[in-house]
Structure 1
């Protein structure tokens, strides 16, 4: 069924979420300027990069619909997660580089509400259900929101991103011990709550006082795929590297999340 949320249940307290790996444009494809531009900012290969997590007992929740149709990591009210900084909306009208995504003006309020009902709400119902399930079993849940982005996007940030961008919204969304364990696993090329402090998912579900610890990981794509200087339709996306240099680090990160106890 197109757009069906993909859930693979594990028996540990860890849930790994993939909000931005989908490329399905559903019934919205004809509204966009081009299918390639609409998919350019996908978190390419991320669910494949973390595929090992299921064998370790993690639950995974994946959205197959493209973030350009509706971004399930944005505030559904439409409020910006990063006031005063360039960002994209609940139903983005531009790509990360600022290119218009739509032939016309983009979706109106009724269309945004339709997309929210069709895809945003089911994704979060699935995610909330899995959080409640593992918390009932273990007494706590760890939500790891898995992302990636091109290393250089001048409209969004200066220079090159660190390899590992950890988001906890200023320490509000998880125990500092979980943050410390993830940082230790990542090594030196990292930042905590830099340009990316955690999206709506991390901020909404992260309630450490109530046993839910949420942390976002935004990877610079150079750690697992080759990034051309100027991505275009002929050279992007590139395949995932056969032996990504960050793969052992990500295993250590996931183990840190699995081993965490409040």
Structure 2
């Protein structure tokens, strides 16, 4: 299934759906999109390789086996350098645009300050994306055309899952550069699991993921430096049976980060992600909700 795009444009998303959903899980790959519109490439100051540095290359493929386990996989079509669906809808930097932003735009978030708003100013290594400011109308059009359909689809998947099973578990799938800015060599883990410091999902999910990955021989950290982005925070409401866990994978495990190609480790990691997914969906689907007084906001 695909999101409807405008004439001549790809859809906002794709859904790989099982013949029948048999588990209360939805997997999501919001940063694996790789369609770069020609007009965007013409407007960028970066070459084709540099603009892809923030792409979660191949993460959607690493989790494709979840469809055989009975869970849908939602994946982006457009790259995060073009529009980042793991942000609020209007986290926008006024310095990037020609024209006045809507009054409701969030122009003061830490992500905007870092150049990583809904329409990013930089790729991960702080390289500026654009040659010059772009029209505000272009930013709003991208949000309407890509962001809103993507989140409509994600909400629909979670609502249908919750209705069918009594709860819904969102696994938000990402990758990270092996060279984490500001981190010493010994502090670069293979995986970082994010549950907003316990606020976005019941502990069973992060505990099981941590245990499985450690048993497979990986180094694992929780919540630092990635506790979960907008998607994890926004959709994870354990008190209401809605759980969200973010998984960050060190890219060096499966790809050549310079050539942006998979290496020999990809097949091994694909197998291990299948084992991890099997372990997660084996957790009883209905996890007792937390008291409403401690629910994630």
Same fold by TM-score greater than 0.5: yes
Residues 161 and 167 of structure 2 are in contact (CA less than 8 Å); yes or no, is this contact kept in structure 1?
yes
Contact 2:83 2:142 in 1 (8 A): yes
1:74 aligns with one of 65, 74, 87: 87
Q: Is the 8 A contact 1:223 1:245 kept in 2?
A: no
Equivalent residues in 2 for 1:72-151, closer than 5 Å: 72-78=85-91, 86=114, 88-105=116-133, 107-151=134-178
Is 1:192 matched up with 2:192?
no
Task: Give unmatched runs, 5+ long, in structure 2.
Answer: 1-8, 92-105, 288-297
- Secondary structure of the structure 1 residue equivalent to 2:261: coil
Match among 246, 251, 256 for residue 269 of structure 2 = 246
Alpha-carbon contact 1:25-1:69 (below 8 Å) kept = yes
Partner of residue 57, structure 1: 70
Question: Which stretches of structure 1, 4 residues or more, deviate above 4 A after TM superposition?
Answer: 79-87
Q: CA RMSD, aligned part only?
A: 2.2
Which residue, 238, 251, 264 being the options, matches 1:208?
A: 238
Residue 181 of structure 1 corresponds to: 208
User: What runs of 5+ residues in structure 1 fail to find an aligned partner?
Assistant: none
Alpha-carbon distance between aligned partners in 1 of 2:112 and 2:221, rounded to the nearest angstrom: 21
Name the counterpart of 2:179: 152
- Asked whether 1:171 is paired with 2:194, we answer no
Q: Relative to 1, partners in 2 of residues 1:238 and 1:8: Cα closer, same or farther, differing over 3 Å?
A: closer
The Cα shift of 1:108 comes to 4.5
Rg comparison, structure with higher value: 2
Residues 196 and 228, structure 2, Cα contact 8 Å, conserved in 1: yes
- Distance of 1:248 and 1:190 partners within structure 2: 18
Is the contact between residue 64 and residue 73 of structure 2 (CA under 8 Å) also seen in structure 1?
Answer: no
How far apart are the structure 1 equivalents of 2:115 and 2:243? 25
Does the 8 Å CA contact 2:12/2:147 hold for their aligned counterparts? no
TM-score using structure 1 length: 0.88
1:35 aligned counterpart, secondary structure: coil
Cα distance between partner residues in 2 of 1:98 and 1:158: 19
Alignment of 1:20-31 (within 5 A): 20-26=31-37, 27-31=39-43
Matched, 1:162 2:189: yes
Whole-angstrom distance in 1 between the partners of 2:127 and 2:252: 23
| TM-score, L = length of structure 2 | 0.78
Aligned residue pairs, count: 253
